[in-house]
C-alpha cells in the first residue's frame, strides 16, 4: 500500500485528472510551462553546481553535487512523452540519482515533438553519448544511463543503437516506468486504465502519434521492446502497479532476461507512473537508494 504522503499525491493527481476532463485543453506551450510530473516542481538544490554545455551539438547541463566523482558520469534522460520536460521538471530527480550514485550527471535537452519528431530525440541522445566518449574521453564502463518514462525508452534505444553500431555500451541502465512500446499493446493499457491517476490511454496514444509523425511504431529505436535485447548491460527497471505502462516494464524485463541479460525488476504495489520523482515520499526515497546502490556496484 502507498504511504500517506504518496496517497495524498495520488489523490491530488486524481482530482487534477477529473478537473481537466471538463476543461478546454491547454496549448502545447501551456502544457510545457505547467509540466510538473512530481505534482509540483522541485528546484535543483542550491549546493549543486550547474553548468551549461553543448554536448555534440545538443544543449545540456552538467550537474555535480558535492563529492561527485568527476570520472563517473550518469547520462540522465528526462520524461514527458517526448513532447514535454526539461531540467526544470526533472533536474531534481537527476541530481538526486547522481548524489545517490556518487556520479556527475549530464542532462541533455533533447529536441521535443511534435516540432522535432522521431528520430530527433534519439539522434540527440546518441550525439550526447558519443560526445562523452570522444570529447570528454570517458570510458564506456565509467558511464551509466538513467531515464524516466519517455527518457527510459530513449535509454533502451541508446543501448540498442550503440550495440548495433558495434560500440562499447554504458556500464548499466536504470529505467523508471520506461516507455518502450508505442503501439500501446500492453495489457496494462486497458487493465490499469481506472487505476492510473496520471495518464490516460488517449493521452499516451497522442504522445506516441506526435512523436512518430507517421513512422512505424514498431521501429526498434522508437519502441525498443521490438528490438533484439541481447548483449545489453545490467538493467534496473522500476515501475508501479497503478501505471498504464506497467506492461512495458514487465515485458521489457522478461525479454531482456530471456536474451541473457542481467535484469532486476522492482514493482511497487499501488504506485503511480514515475513515482521516483515524487520528492518527500518514502517510496521515492527508497527507489533513489536502490538506484544509487545499483549504479555504485556497476559503474567504475
Domains and CATH numbers, the chain: 45-298 (3.40.50.1820)
Question: 6 near 283, Cβ under 8 Å?
Answer: yes
Give the model's pLDDT for residue 63.
98
Alpha-carbon separation of residue 192 from 125, 200, 242, 243, 289 (angstroms): 31, 10, 6, 6, 27
Q: Is cis: bond before 233, omega within 30 of 0?
A: no
* Cβ atoms of residues 10 and 273 within 8 Å: no
| β partners of residue 73 | 104, 143
Q: What is the pLDDT of residue 21?
A: 81
The reply to whether 149 belongs to the active site is yes
> Which whole-number Å values give the CA distances from 188 to 66, 191, 201, 278, 299, in the listed order?
40, 5, 10, 22, 33
Starting at the edge strand found earlier in the chain, the sheet holding 235-242 runs 49-55, 58-64, 103-108, 69-77, 143-148, 173-176, 235-242, 263-272
Q: Is 300 a residue of the active site?
A: no
In which residue are the cell numbers 508501479 written? Answer: 240
Q: Which residue stretches of 135-277 are H helix?
A: 150-164, 188-191, 201-212, 246-258
Helix 282-298 to helix 4-21 angle, to the nearest 10 degrees? 110
Catalytic annotation, pick one of 124, 181, 210, 243:
243
Cβ contact 146:174 at 8 Å:
yes
**Beta carbons of 246 and 192 less than 8 angstroms apart:** yes
> Cell 507517421, residue?
214
Question: What is the Cα–Cα distance from 174 to 176, expressed in whole angstroms?
Answer: 7
Q: Of these residues, 149, 177, 188, 199, which one is catalytic?
A: 149
* DSSP 8-state class, residue 177: S
> Is 164 in the active site?
no
Q: How confident is the model at residue 203, as a pLDDT?
A: 94
Among 300, 279, 47, 274, which Cα is nearest to 153's? 274
Which one-letter DSSP state was computed for residue 249?
A: H
Res 279: pLDDT: 97
Residue pair 145/156 in contact (Cβ under 8 Å)? The answer is no
Count of alpha carbons within 13 Å of 161, Cβ hemisphere only? 20
Q: Average pLDDT per run of 10 along the chain, which is 300 residues long? A: 96 91 90 93 97 98 97 98 98 98 98 98 98 98 98 98 98 98 96 93 96 98 98 98 97 98 98 97 98 97
Phi, psi of 71 (to 5 degrees): -85, -5
Nearest-5° Cα angle at 178, 223 to 262: 95
For the entire predicted model, the pTM comes to 0.98
Amino acid at each position: 500500500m502507498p504511504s500517506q504522503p504518496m496517497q495524498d499525491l495520488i489523490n491530488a493527481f486524481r482530482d487534477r485528472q477529473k478537473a481537466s476532463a471538463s476543461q478546454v485543453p491547454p496549448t502545447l506551450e501551456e502544457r510545457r510551462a505547467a509540466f510538473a510530473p512530481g505534482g509540483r516542481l522541485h528546484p535543483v538544490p542550491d549546493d549543486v553546481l550547474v553548468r551549461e554545455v553543448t554536448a555534440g551539438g545538443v544543449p545540456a547541463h552538467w550537474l555535480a553535487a558535492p563529492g561527485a566523482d568527476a570520472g563517473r558520469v550518469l547520462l540522465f534522460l528526462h520524461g514527458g512523452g517526448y513532447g514535454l520536460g526539461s531540467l526544470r521538471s526533472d533536474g531534481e530527480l537527476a541530481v538526486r540519482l547522481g548524489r545517490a550514485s556518487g556520479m556527475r550527471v549530464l542532462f541533455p535537452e533533447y529536441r521535443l515533438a511534435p516540432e522535432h519528431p522521431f528520430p530527433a530525440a534519439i539522434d540527440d541522445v546518441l550525439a550526447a553519448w558519443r560526445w562523452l566518449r570522444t570529447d570528454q574521453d570517458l570510458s564506456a564502463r565509467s558511464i551509466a544511463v538513467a531515464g524516466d518514462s519517455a527518457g527510459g525508452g530513449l535509454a533502451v534505444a541508446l543501448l540498442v543503437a550503440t550495440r548495433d553500431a558495434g560500440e562499447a555500451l554504458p556500464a548499466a541502465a536504470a529505467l523508471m516506468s520506461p516507455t518502450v512500446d508505442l503501439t500501446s499493446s500492453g495489457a496494462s493499457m486497458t487493465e490499469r486504465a481506472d487505476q492510473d491517476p496520471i495518464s490516460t490511454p488517449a493521452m499516451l496514444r497522442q504522445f506516441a502519434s506526435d512523436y512518430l509523425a507517421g513512422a512505424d511504431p514498431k521501429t526498434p529505436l522508437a519502441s525498443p521492446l521490438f528490438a533484439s535485447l541481447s548483449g545489453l548491460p545490467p538493467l534496473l527497471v522500476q515501475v508501479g502497479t497503478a501505471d498504464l505502462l506497467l506492461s512495458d516494464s514487465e515485458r521489457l524485463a522478461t525479454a531482456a532476461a530471456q536474451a541473457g541479460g542481467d535484469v532486476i525488476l522492482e514493482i511497487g504495489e499501488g504506485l503511480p507512473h514515475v513515482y521516483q520523482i515524487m520528492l518527500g515520499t518514502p517510496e521515492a526515497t527508497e527507489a533513489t537508494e536502490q538506484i544509487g546502490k545499483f549504479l555504485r556496484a556497476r559503474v567504475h
